[in-house]
Amino acid sequence: MINTTLCEATSANATALPTQSTLFRVAGGQFAGRLFALFSRTPTTISYAVADPPYLQWSSPVDIVTDAADFPVGGYIDGNNCIFVVYTKQTSHDLAVVKLTYGAGSWSVGTVYTVYNGDDNYFPTICKDSDQTLYVTWSRLSGGQYTVQAKLSVDEGQTWGTGPSDAGTALSAAGSSGYSVLLCRADYMYCLYTLGGTKLACRRKDINAGTWEPEEVIYTGLGLYDDFQAAVSSDNRLGVVFSTSASLYFKENDGSSWGGLFTVDGDPGLSPQVRYNGATPHVFYGQNSGTNQRLWVYSRREAAGFAASEELLPGFTPFDVLQCYDASSGAPTYDCTGQAADSAAGDVYHPDSGKLLDAAGDAVYFGMNDRFCRVSVVLANSGAGGAVEWSYWNGTAWVPFVPASGAYHFDSTPLCVRLWDDVQSTPADWQKLMKSTQFKFWVRAAVTDAFTSGPVGSQITAAANFDDVVSAVE
**Domain CATH for 334:** 2.60.120
Q: Does residue 251 belong to any structural domain of this protein?
A: no
On whether both 343 and 212 belong to a single domain, the answer is no
Q: How far is CA 62 from the centre of its chain?
A: 21
Residues 67, 177 share a domain: yes
Residue 9 resides in a domain: no
Same domain? For 216 and 333 the reply is no
Banded model confidence at residue 2, pLDDT cuts 50, 70, 90? low
What pLDDT was estimated at residue 219?
Answer: 98
What count of other Cβ atoms lies within 10 Å of the Cβ of residue 305? 12
Alpha-carbon distance values, 458 to 36, 142, 332, 345 (Å): 40, 45, 20, 5
pLDDT digits (tens, 9 = 90+) for 153-211: 999 999 999 999 999 999 999 999 999 999 999 899 999 999 999 999 999 999 999 89
The rounded percent of the chain whose pLDDT value lies above 70 is 97
The verdict on residue 400 lying in a domain is yes
Of 184, 199, 226, the domain-final residue: 226
pLDDT > 80? residue 342? yes
Instruction: Evaluate whether residue 222 is within a structural domain.
Output: yes
Q: Does some domain include residue 471? A: no
- Whether 279 is covered by a domain: the verdict is no
- At residue 474, the pLDDT reads 54
**285 pLDDT above the threshold of 90:** yes
Choice between 367 and 255, residue whose per-residue pLDDT is larger: 367
Examine the pLDDT at 49 and tell me if it is beyond 90: yes
pLDDT reported for residue 293: 86
The answer to whether residue 473 scores a pLDDT higher than 70 is: no
CA dist., res. 421 & res. 134, Å (int): 39
What does the pLDDT read at residue 471?
Answer: 56
Among the three residues 226, 246, 262, which one is the final residue of a domain in this structure? 226
User: pLDDT digits over 421-470, tens only?
Assistant: 888 899 999 999 999 899 999 999 999 999 999 999 999 999 987 765 65
Domain shared by 200 and 74, yes or no:
yes
Quick check: pTM over 0.75?
A: yes
CATH of the domain at 47: 2.120.10.10
**pLDDT score at 327:** 94
**Boundary residue ending a domain (176, 204, 226):** 226
**For residue 299, is pLDDT > 90?**
yes
Lowest mean pLDDT among 140-144, 219-223, 330-334, 452-456: 330-334
Give the model confidence (pLDDT) of 218-261 as tens digits: 999 999 999 999 999 999 999 999 999 999 999 999 988 999 99
- Domain identity same for 48 and 196: yes
Indicate if the pLDDT at residue 213 is higher than 70.
yes
Is 404 part of a structural domain of the chain?
yes
Residues 28 and 161 in one domain: yes
pLDDT at position 194, please? 98
2 lies in some domain: no
Number of domains observed in the structure of the chain = 2
Nearest by Cα to 182 from 174, 191, 169, 173: 191
Average pLDDT, the chain: 94
Asked if residue 335 and residue 196 are part of one domain, the reply reads no
**What is the average per-residue pLDDT within 290-312?**
90
Higher pLDDT, 313 or 402: 402
Give residue 361's domain range.
321-461
**Per-residue pLDDT tens for 349-363?**
999 999 999 999 999
- C-beta of residue 148 within 8 angstroms of C-beta of residue 139: yes
Q: Are residues 215 and 325 in the same domain?
A: no
Rounded CA separation 165/466 (Å): 38
Looking at beta carbons, which pairs linking 210-215 to residues 24 or more positions away fall under 8 Å?
211/169, 212/150, 212/169, 212/171, 215/171, 215/172
Q: Which pLDDT value is given to residue 406?
A: 96
Residue 112 has what pLDDT?
98
- For residues 11 and 36, what is the distance between their CA atoms, to the nearest angstrom? 19
pLDDT digits (tens, 9 = 90+) for 376-401: 999 999 999 999 999 999 999 999 99
